[in-house]
A and B are shown apart, each in its own frame.
Chain A
């Protein structure tokens, strides 16, 4: 007859095997292995070119039929404070004073991640990463839980707090409906006088970005921001100063956000199926001979 010690050893061996199998299985479908759709489009933003004219904000407002702004788009007073995207402005330009260097401006909008955290966090599946590269959402199924606002590493999704009856998440959709799906660049890219933004296939843009750095290493920081950050983004940046100084987190993880939770969530089915059986077995064995004859000797023997 199998004794309790052997049984416990066996259980341990089984669970180690199960765990290692599940680890191997996970590697095969590891998050981060997805490098984006092959024909996905993107935008390369060269911060050294931006002059802060806010034309992109005006074009976005017009294209997305957003409410009238509170101030005209040629009003430079907005640069006094750092702004973020709102339900009325899917893109905003901020000004960054750099010591000993020129002033830089950076337009912020959704970066359209290859593996979007907003999509991962959405329990009603409102978000979609399209083959063209856009991260779009279906506002009809959005329940307004705002998980995506917490999940987004770039603080992009905004919430229409002002709508009491039907508050929704609002964010840049890469002009998917009106432009991107027909192969046209988004409105902000088209209006930009300085061609700060270069629109093209993401793979080509990466090559262009690295080529610009190679041709003028004194001008650029040696990094294309968004190439690797959180698993890669469709919108990428070139800068003449450290990205931290223009409001982009320079220590962003290279793993997609989903990797932070995938290991844990992958364990849930295993825990739910194996643990009840395991602990029931332990419990049954531990209490098997209780009451029949003195269990104390046995206990003491085990503790040696």
Chain B
């Protein structure tokens, strides 16, 4: 009797969780994603995918046409009106982490047909333009360290934190 009751409670809890983020659990969509493939001066981002799904509902806002969502950009509609869900949906699956390497510049130039995806931003640009652009509109945090903490080599290159100039403020007088 007690065991049955416990099972019922667990089932109810399970059902509630399913309802809250049914899309995520339904098709293996990750709830949290650690974005760290290009981290250098900042730590990786612990991205709450589920919260963004629940807030935005529309996958296409970030994933363009790749999840099979309806696209509204007239330039995309020309090919991707009914192109359906793609095998690759991750940002780094399409956006290059080295968009300006000689190989990548050549690849972009040689692609067929040559008129589409010509001006595709790199991975870092895709993350920041997508995230910061939306965060500005939504009134969400937009500071660098609101999403990722700057690490030691980052402080080094920015001459900040423990690497801060010894006599700050002296700058003003040396203006020519």
Q: Which residues of A contact B (CB under 8 A)?
A: 49, 51, 53, 55, 58-59, 61-62, 68-74, 78, 81, 83, 86, 158, 161, 183-185, 189-195, 198-201, 204, 207-208, 211-212, 215
Pairs A-B, 8 closest by C-beta atoms: A195-B125, A70-B171, A72-B160, A183-B102, A185-B100, A199-B100, A193-B128, A73-B158
Q: Check: B35 CB closer than 8 A to any chain A CB.
A: no
Are the CB atoms of B158 and A71 closer together than 8 Å? no
**Whole-angstrom distance from the CB of B146 to the nearest CB of chain A?**
13
B142 cross-chain contacts in A, Cβ below 8 A: 51
Q: How far is the CB of A86 from chain B (nearest CB, A)?
A: 7
In the bound complex, CA of A178 to CA of B135 (Å): 36
Q: Are B165 and A161 in contact (CB under 8 A)?
A: no
B158, A211: Cβ atoms closer than 8 Å: no
Nearest CB in chain B to that of A70: its residue: B171
Instruction: Give the Cβ gap from B115 to chain A, nearest Cβ, in Å.
Output: 9
We find that the number of chain B residues with CB closer than 8 angstroms to chain A is 34
Residues of B within 8 A of A (CB): 41, 75, 99-102, 105, 109, 118-119, 121-122, 124-125, 127-129, 132, 142, 144, 157-160, 163-165, 168-171, 174-176
Which residues of A lie under 8 Å from residue B157 when comparing CB positions? 58-59, 61-62, 73
A70 touches B100 (CB 8 A): no
A215 to B124, CA, bound (A): 22
Cβ B160 vs Cβ A73 within 8 A: yes
Give every chain A residue within 8 A of B129 (Cβ-Cβ).
49, 194-195
Contact of A211 among B118, B127, B163 (CB under 8 A): B118
Query: In the complex, which residues of chain B have a beta carbon less than 8 angstroms from the beta carbon of A70?
Result: 165, 168-171, 174
A73-B144 in contact (CB<8A)? no
In the complex formed, the residue of B with least CB distance to A211 is B119
**Provided the pairs A198-B119, A211-B118, A212-B119 are in contact, do residues A72 and B176 lie with their beta carbons within 8 angstroms?**
no
Residue of B nearest to A57 (CB): B158
Closest chain-A Cβ to B175's Cβ sits at a distance in Å of 8
Q: Which of B41, B124, B170 is within 8 Å of A195, CB to CB?
A: B124
For A81, list chain B residues within 8 Å (CB): 175
B170 touches A193 (CB 8 A): no
Tell me, rounded to whole Å, the shortest Cβ–Cβ distance linking B107 to chain A: 12
Q: Which residue of B lies closest to A51 (CB)?
A: B132
- List, sorted by A's number, 11 A–B pairs whose CB atoms are closer than 8 Å: A51-B142, A59-B157, A70-B169, A70-B171, A71-B171, A72-B163, A183-B102, A194-B125, A195-B99, A198-B100, A208-B119
Does the CB pair B158–A195 fall under 8 Å?
Answer: no
